[in-house]
Structure 1
Amino acid sequence: MLKGLQDLHILLETARQGSLSNVARSMDMTPAAISAAIKRVEQQLGTALFVRSTRSLRLTPQGEQYLQQCEQALTTLTHAEAQLHSQQATLQGQLQLSLPSDLGRHQFMRLLDEFLTLYPQVSLKLQVSDHLSNLYRQPLDLLIRYGVPPDSNLILLPLVPDNHRVLCAAPEYVARHGAPNSPLELSQHNCLCFMLADRLHNRWQFSRAGEVLSVEVSGDRSADDGEMVHRWALAGHGIAYKSRLDVADDLAAGRLVPLCQAWQGEAAPLNMLVPDRRQLSPLIKALRQFLLQRLQP
């Protein structure tokens, strides 16, 4: 029971039994702990709730008024707490989800391990791919993807709506080739490009103070796997244009350095996608709430 609720429960029991020692025995506590709980509530309220004598104690008029209204509220709160714990204890089943390659193999691997520790009766079946899976044809409960899906019928649930792409490279690359001062200088650098559905994403967009800049880039490496582009960047083979979520740990550790920081990369909001709101089971809702808390900047 929460500390505040326990104190109120002690108050009610003390009022019913009229004895600190009796309450202490029934609640397996010491009389001093019972007395301390009463004093805490009285200090918070700024008024005495009990009149104490050497052998017994009784409610003051203020105490009678307070505890009369408090009993119903305590019952409601206790029920809510028990319901929450019951839901956590009984949350079970299998979740089938699809994740982007880079995000799934790194940050989400840790997050999902933590989620399974919290809910040991839950199991996960993961599909890790950068290709957009078909929620209507494949046995999947949800997708986690960057950006807005082309299928407007999917229900979009934001996870990190303000995420952006960031231009980055390994310190070794910058030491050898220098850092671009502007996205326009990317034509002088080896850029690591990502492909999706045979389409090469070699036009990178940036913005600054209302100005939008679109730059066509090129390089000697491209892949349809986001993690591969990530690894090439870490190995010092060129400049990557990655979701900040994908490279956050590397930027913090100095394995990658951000470039052209005066310019903001294009938006890459991270979303959870489900085919129908009726499929928002307690398990999916619990996963989303967990991710919302863990993915805060």
Structure 2
Amino acid sequence: MNTDDLELFTRIADCGSITASAEQLGLTPATASAALKRLEKQLDTQLFIRSTRQLRLTSEGEHFLTFCRQALVALEEGKASLHAIKGKISGELRLSMPSDLGRNLVVPWIDEMMIKHPELSLKLNIGDGLSDFYLDRVDVALRYGAPEDSSMIAFQVASIDRVIIASPEYTAAFGEPQHPEELRQHNCLIFRLGNRAYDTWDMVRNGEQYRIPVTGDRECDDAEIVRRWARAGRGIAFKSKLDVKRELDSGKLLRLLPEYQSKPVGLWLVCPSRKQVTPAVLLLRDFLRDKVNEELKPVGRPLS
């Protein structure tokens, strides 16, 4: 039984369309239709009920789908085990990641990882929107925030504080807030994800919660642009400490209200299913954990 046919069958079951599944797998609709017929002939079972308007699984197809998924996962795990035994990690990483973190930290880290593992290849999507794993052909995504879909396979890379930051030029011109309520009088730089603008900033001090609605003259759906605006003295931003750690250490950005803490945000590596949890993904997970921990270490004071 051809494993490509099994993969196609599961993809058709997910998409509900032979044409869409064929496109995702780089096949023609005719080739995909022939493969499905071949599988049904081998099983002597009709897997789908076809009509001019829809394609849906038969009861036998639903029953077989469970075993088909298990078989494909087992095969992938077997391949991964062989690679691990050989000490080689190869294959393609189809990865998406946030814009600011990706461009400035993760891409150089992955370059370093691929030098150590030259049989790896990379297809990269960078952007702050959530990738569609199937439509965007992404196998693994690096994201801030835990996945809402419990069916996803997720590994937490780190838990990271968020910090309120501005440039020395901004604070010299407009002053530095001494209390969260004073943020209302400042020009705040707003990050937007989809239709949601993150214009309410939460923090806590000594058990007292502060939830401050902020406003400003700039809003963007690209987190790197928000950081650049802050660097240029355009206003105050609320960012993951990981994104701005180097600029805080160098003094190019200042941390404001340091005695007020934010709720940490998780950095997660997410796969749509266990099939995507390859040795390359596990290598990436461990590599990122080490790099993030190293990045967030306090900068030592010079010896006097």
* TM-score of the pair, normalised by structure 1: 0.69
| 145, 148, 164: which one aligns with 2:146 | 148
Cα shift readout 1:114-172 (whole Å, capped 9, x = no counterpart): 111111111111100100112243311101000122323212200012x0210000010
Over the aligned positions, Cα root-mean-square deviation in angstroms equals 1.5
Residue in structure 1 matched with residue 113 of structure 2 by the alignment: 115
What is residue 217 of structure 1 aligned with on the other side? 214
After TM superposition, list the pairs within 5 Å mapping 1:203-214 onto structure 2: 203-214=200-211
**Residue equivalent to 1:16:** none
In the alignment, what sits opposite 1:166?
163
Kept in 1: contact 2:97–2:142 (CA 8 A): yes
For the residue of structure 1 that corresponds to 2:125, the secondary structure is strand
**Alignment-mate amino acid for residue 135 of structure 1:** F
Could you say if the C-alpha distance between residues 84 and 140 of structure 1 is closer, same or farther in structure 2, counting changes exceeding 3 Å?
closer
Match of 1:250 among 247, 250, 256: 247
Match of 2:129 in 1: 131
For the residues of structure 2 that align with 1:154 and 1:164, how far apart are their CA atoms? Answer: 24
SS at match of 1:98: strand
Deviations 1:167-225 (A, max 9, x none): 00001001111110111100110000001112211001001222211000000000011
Q: Which amino acid aligns with 1:100?
A: P
| Pair 1:270 & 2:258 matched | no
Q: Contact (CA 8 Å) 2:140, 2:276: kept in 1 or not? A: no
Percent of residue pairs bearing the same amino acid type: 42
Measure the CA separation in 2 of the matches of 1:119 and 1:191: 43
> What is the deviation of 1:86?
3.7
Counterpart of 2:133 in 1: which secondary structure? coil
Q: Is the 8 A contact 2:84 2:279 kept in 1?
A: no
Greater Rg over alpha carbons, structure: 1
Give structure 2 stretches of 5+ with no counterpart.
1-82, 297-304
Contact preservation (8 Å) 1:167, 1:265: no
**Residues 182-261 of structure 1: pairs in structure 2 closer than 5 A:** 182-261=179-258
> C-alpha distance in 2, partners of 1:102/1:111?
14
Partner residue, 1:280? 277
Which residue matches 2:16? none
Deviations 1:257-283 (A, max 9, x none): 100011012321111011122321111
Alpha-carbon offset, residue 254 of structure 1:
0.7
Equivalents in 2 of 1:263, 1:156: separation in Å?
30
Structure 1: gaps spanning 5 or more residues: 1-82
Deviates more, 1:210-219 or 1:144-153: 144-153
State the alpha-carbon separation in 2 of the partners of residues 295 and 281 from structure 1.
21
CA distance in 2, matches of 1:270, 1:138: 21
- The residue identity in structure 2 corresponding to 1:198 is N
Within a 5 Å distance, the mapping from 1:38-187 to structure 2 comes to 86-87=86-87, 90-161=88-159, 163-187=160-184
Aligned positions, number: 212
Q: Secondary structure at the match of 1:213?
A: strand
- The letter for the 2-side match of 1:180 is P
